[in-house]
Amino acid sequence: MAVAAIGGDTHMGQTVILGVIGSDAHVVGITILEQALTAAGFDVENLGVQTSKAEFVSAAESEDAGAVLVSSLYGHAEQDCQGLHERLADADCDAVTYIGGNLAVGQNDWAETEDVFRELGFDRVFDAETDPEAVVASLERDLDHTTTETERVSVNS
Partner 1 sequence: MLRDDRIPGDQLRETASELRDRWPTGADADFEDAIEFHESLPASKRFADVLESADRPLLQPRAGVPRLDDQIELLVHLETEGGADLLPTTIDSYTRDNEYEKAAEGLAEARESGNDTLNGFPAVNHGVDACRELIQSVDAPVEVRHGTPDARLLAIVTLAGGFQSFEGGPISYNIPYTKEHDLEETIEHWQFVDRLCGAYTERGVRINREPFGPLTGTLVPPAIAIAVMIVEGLLAATQGVRSLTLGYGQVGNVVQDVAALRALRELGEEYLPDDAVVTTVFHEWMGGFPPDEARASGVIGLGGATAALARPDKVITKSPQEFQGVPTREANAAGLRTTRQLIDMMVEQEILIDGIDEEQNLIERTARSLVESVVSHGDGDVARGTVAAFDSGALDVPFAPSDSAAAAVLPARDDDGRVRILEWGDLAVPDETKEIHEARLDERARTEGRSRSFRMVADDVDAISDGKLIGRPTPSDGGGPGDGVDTRGGESDAD
142 is catalytic: no
Render 99-128 in DSSP notation, one character per residue: EEE--SSSS--HHHHHHHHHHTT-SEEE-T
Q: Are 44 and 37 a contacting pair, CB within 8 Å? A: yes
43 is catalytic: no
Pick from 50, 4, 30: nearest CA to 101: 30
Q: Residue 110: which of partner 1, ligand B12, none does it interact with, CB under 5 to 8 A by kind?
A: partner 1
Backbone region of residue 144 per phi and psi (left: phi > 0; alpha: psi in -120 to 50; beta: other values): alpha
Burial 85-97 (b: 16+ CB within 10 A, else e): bebbeeeebebbb
Q: Residue 107: which of ligand B12, partner 1, none does it interact with, CB under 5 to 8 A by kind?
A: partner 1
Q: Measured from the CB atom, is 105 or 152 closer to ligand B12?
A: 105
Q: Measured from the CB atom, is 13 or 78 closer to partner 1?
A: 78
26, 43, 76, 94: the active-site residue: 26
Which parts of 47-106 interact with partner 1 (CB under 8 A)? 48-50, 74-76, 98, 100, 102, 104-106
What CA–CA distance (Å, rounded) separates 12 from 14? Answer: 5
Query: Given the rule CB under 6 A, which residues bind ligand B12?
Result: 23-29, 32-33, 69-71, 73-75, 98-102, 104-106, 126, 128, 130, 132, 135
List active site positions.
24, 26
Query: Given the rule CB under 8 A, which residues bind partner 1?
Result: 1-3, 20, 23-28, 31-32, 35-36, 48-50, 74-76, 98, 100, 102, 104-108, 110, 114, 118, 122-135, 138
